[in-house]
């Protein structure tokens, strides 16, 4: 699928447009296998099988402020991961303002379900699923890992670990956000608490590997540190990585650098988790 096949999205700022163009450049020529998990054009995944798969799978969700973005934005990450034996699944989800919380989250949970049921066809092991994402995608990844969207009804309980990049962990008063995100829906619905991963931290969650850029948005750095502290206080294994010299967008670019700090630390995190994980969570 090409970018022009999608419906028109919200207008991008100059900075966001430059980010979009850079991701297009980085992902040029990197082709995944497209599959549908729903009827909407956004309800699709791209699968990038590992060259020599060891069964490990990373499910990744794009950013874009919950109103923009494409699953193709994550394509550039594939080469650095697939050479490590990791199968990458990039999941699309329906966007605001046409679709408000919890629609996007439910779509992300459906991506996990689809991956759990289908990834073995591509060399992945459904018992070795990790979830990640950048910015808004990192938020959804974290929320899946802590709230699990009723894990009794979905396969999010199968997640072995969560690796959000420059994610959002809290909304509402004191969150540091200048504008209330529109994906939350009307203010009277009060979705801030339900959508805040930080407010759902508890014992027994899967391990987290939380990263952000050294020059990231201040409120996101603060939130990431608060999230890590809350997880540690609840006895959840958590590792952190501040990416030197990276702003919010470069932190995502770093996730595609073969041999870079993020990929190396992710691989070690995955290995540690899988070595110590029980057969079933």
Q: Residue 120's closest CA among 56, 52, 44? A: 56
Does residue 24 sit within a domain?
A: no
Enclosing domain of residue 46:
33-174+185-275
Does residue 169 sit within a domain?
A: yes
CA distance 211 to 159: 18
Does residue 23 sit within a domain?
A: no
Which pLDDT does position 154 carry in this prediction? 78
Does residue 3 sit within a domain?
A: no
The CATH number of the domain where 103 resides is what? Answer: 3.40.50.1820
Encoded tokens for 50: 């590992």
Does residue 100 sit within a domain?
A: yes
- Please answer whether residues 123 and 168 qualify as being in contact, where contact means their C-beta atoms are separated by less than 8 angstroms: no
Does residue 89 sit within a domain?
A: yes
Which pLDDT does position 281 carry in this prediction? 41
Local confidence pLDDT in tens for the 281 residues of the chain: 889 999 999 999 999 999 999 999 999 999 999 999 999 999 999 999 999 999 999 999 999 999 999 999 999 999 999 999 999 999 999 999 999 999 999 999 999 999 999 999 999 999 999 999 999 999 999 999 998 666 666 788 899 999 999 999 999 999 999 899 999 999 999 999 999 999 999 999 999 999 999 999 999 999 999 999 999 999 999 999 999 999 999 999 999 999 999 999 999 999 999 999 765 44
Does residue 121 sit within a domain?
A: yes
Which pLDDT does position 1 carry in this prediction? 81
Does residue 26 sit within a domain?
A: no
- Is the full-model pTM beyond 0.85? yes
Which pLDDT does position 153 carry in this prediction? 64
Number of independent structural domains in the chain: 1
Which pLDDT does position 152 carry in this prediction? 60
Q: Which contacts qualify for 70-73: CB closer than 8 Å, 24 or more apart?
A: 70/3, 70/6, 71/42, 71/44, 71/45, 71/46, 72/1, 72/3, 72/23, 72/24, 72/27, 72/46, 73/20, 73/23, 73/27
């Amino acid at each position: 699928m090409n970018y022009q096949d999608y419906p028109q999205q919200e207008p991008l700022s100059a900075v966001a447009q430059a980010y979009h163009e850079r991701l297009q450049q980085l992902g040029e020529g990197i082709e995944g296998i497209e599959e549908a998990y729903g009827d909407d054009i956004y309800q699709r995944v791209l699968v990038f099988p590992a060259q020599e798969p060891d069964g490990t799978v990373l499910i990744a969700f794009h950013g874009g402020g919950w109103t923009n973005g494409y699953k193709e934005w994550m394509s550039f990450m594939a080469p650095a991961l697939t050479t490590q034996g990791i199968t990458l699944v990039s999941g699309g989800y329906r966007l605001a303002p046409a679709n408000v919380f919890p629609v996007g989250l439910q779509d992300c949970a459906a991506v996990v379900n689809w991956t759990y049921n289908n990834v073995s066809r591509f060399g992945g092991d459904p018992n070795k699923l990790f979830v990640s994402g950048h910015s808004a995608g990192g938020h959804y990844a974290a929320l899946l890992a802590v709230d699990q969207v009723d894990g009794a009804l979905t396969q999010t309980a199968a997640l072995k670990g969560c690796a959000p990049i420059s994610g959002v962990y809290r909304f509402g008063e004191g969150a540091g956000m200048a504008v209330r995100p529109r994906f939350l829906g009307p203010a009277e619905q009060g979705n801030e608490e339900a959508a805040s991963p930080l407010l759902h931290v508890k014992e027994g969650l899967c391990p987290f590997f939380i990263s952000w850029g050294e020059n990231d948005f201040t409120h996101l750095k603060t939130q990431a540190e608060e999230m890590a502290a809350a997880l540690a206080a609840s006895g959840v294994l958590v590792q952190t990585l501040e990416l030197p010299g990276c702003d919010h967008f470069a932190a995502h670019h770093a996730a595609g650098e073969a041999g870079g700090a993020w990929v190396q630390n992710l691989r070690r995190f995955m290995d540690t988790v899988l070595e110590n994980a029980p057969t079933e969570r």
